[in-house]
Amino acid sequence: MRLLLLLCMPFSLIGQVKDLDSIVITASLHAEHEKETGRNIQVVRGEWLRGLPAMSIDELLRYIPGVEVQQRGPQGSQADILIRGGTFQQVLLLIDGVRLNDPLTGHFNGYLPIHPSEIDRIEVLKGTAASIHGSDAIGGVIHVITKSAALTAQDTQHRFSAGMEAGAMGLRNANGWWRMRTEHSSLSVGATSQNAEGPALRGTTGYFHNHTVGIAFARSLHADWRLSLRSAMDLRDFNAQNYYTTFRSDTARERVQSTWQQLHLLKSAGGYTLHMDVAYKALEDVYRFRPMVTPNQNRTRMMVAQAYLLLRAEKRTRLTTGLQYIRRTIRSNDRGDHTLDHAAAYLIAAHRLGGGLHVNESLRIDWDASYGWVLVPQANASWTRSRLTLRGSVGNGIRDADFTERYNNFKKPLVASGSIGNPWLRTERSWSYEAGADYRLHQRLKASIGAFRRSQQDLIDWEPTPYAQMPRRENLVSGATYALATNLSSVQTSGLEFDLQYDRSLDEQGRKRLLVMAGLLLLDSKSADKTPSFYISSHARALLNASVIYRVGDVDLNGSMVWKRRNAQQAAAIGADLPREYLLCNLRLRYAVRPMRGAVFVQAYNLFDRNFSDLLGAQMPGRWLSMGLQFGQ
């Protein structure tokens, strides 16, 4: 019992970082030490992902301090990612520096077309970064950096891994990854498949069939050029009952298929580095509310082209300047046909002023077919003396509505209830302020404390609205009430963050190791609107997320937990209850079989069999036991 309590203490994984003083991140496009950024940034190394008691990347993210993941379904079926109490559309996801956010809806942003073994590290930047990365980067940025992008001359090994897992509720998972590496190039191929009948639901089961396959190639060319290519396909077919509604008639299922193509060119010379990216994302979503109802069919396309140049203006100053172009299109029997163009230019300056003082400024000018021209400034600063770093940041943020928020349910002949888009939505605008301190002890322990405040105007959320107040009524029913996408007049969000990272070998041979990371987030959001909006009222008011890995020889004992307090909710029509708080604990025991270069493991998800949901009506599974094999490295 003491062991189980230890594993559910506020600890979470940090990657294999032997010196917490030397973490180099790319959150500001140019590489710099984390303590120089003036920001609160968490880094999780890819080599430790397989050790976590998590079944998908979105489940992994929910144990990183300060990140709230609201899962509608298990194992990547669907999850909304929140940082610092924003909405899920206010978090920007990047793969090797290129935005992944889908133009249809932020519900699909967590569909990362990457095999876990292909991830070099994940950087989580908390707070606004819109002046660097643009729209959507208000609550924070999650940057997935692959091994192809982090190509190093020292890593010249061929690698292979494969695994399988089986368990309760008809769970059948399998994965494989192979990487060929030479001095000048690398080629990797990976695939995952996750399947289950799932828990029993109202008249059905929470089944899912989620598959990802991808290939990546990188090569160092002559004259200091480097080329990277990536192509991936992601297919998810899952039960979506009450994912978006609290209607008893909801027996929905959904199928989402997407492809991702990415090309990156890098030119590195003595005084500059040039990056160029072209990426293309195609997504098809088929959502069927009931078997006899015509499904919503949505096809979106997104093209991203960008280039940025890193210069060292003088010994203590670095400049980054770049251009970006984005085109988004949708063809839909529900939302109609639309195209949006977006362009931006930006300048980032980083100064080392001496005496441990670092200052970063950035300015971005955006043009969008929806909202026109806008300037987005930001400034960050940090001061380091011995083991202590003081940091602060102030910045502007913007976010435009996605196609669902603008046009949901527009093309149907008659809509009796549900969510209705609003084409007259204004662009969200915000100012964010933060201050904090980091203390490093013996290069193994890092403790952080911080406070932040975000002042938002015209935040977009869904509000209950009667027919008489609807701005558009063409296909609506008189006397009905709808959830309308609305601009809230103002929302003030304040919070406190407490983070802890620890990484230590417990013996000289390195056969005993303890890795921990913990985070406590306290939040308060206040709106000037009297009617509570959906997502602002749903985010956590207190969040503790954590895990621990304890290694003794060939045995890994890993635990993770989330404790969340939020507003209680009820939906009498489907008998759903969202209690004020819940505690979720997971446990994995892994034993390395060295002659086979593999490992066997047993895992318990929702160890204490809690009845919990992140969003009202979307019931998550109870205790889920599984076991599996993993080979290679």
Q: pLDDT band at residue 302, thresholds of 50, 70 and 90?
A: very high
CATH, residue 404:
2.40.170.20
In this predicted structure, which of 152-156, 198-202, 287-291, 521-525 has the lowest mean pLDDT?
A: 152-156
Q: Give dist(CA 138, CA 32) in Å, integer.
A: 22
Q: Give dist(CA 257, CA 548) in Å, integer.
A: 35
Summarize the confidence of residues 270-295 as an average pLDDT: 92
pLDDT in tens, 562-575: 999 999 988 888 98
pLDDT of amino acid 398:
93
State the residue range of the domain holding 398.
2-632
Domain total for the chain?
1
pTM attached to this predicted model: 0.92
| Coil vs helix vs strand at 334 | coil
What is 24-50 written as a DSSP string? EEEEESEEEEGGGSSS-EEEEEGGGGG
Residues sharing a CB contact under 8 Å with residue 331, sequence separation 6 or more, in sequence order: 298, 299, 300, 337
pLDDT of amino acid 37:
85
Summarize the confidence of residues 280-297 as an average pLDDT: 94
More confident of the two residues 48 and 497: 497
Residues counted in the chain: 633
Q: pLDDT band at residue 13, thresholds of 50, 70 and 90?
A: very low
Tokens 């635990």 — which residue?
559
| Coil vs helix vs strand at 183 | coil
Contact (Cβ atoms closer than 8 angstroms) between residue 172 and residue 198: no
Summarize the confidence of residues 84-113 as an average pLDDT: 91
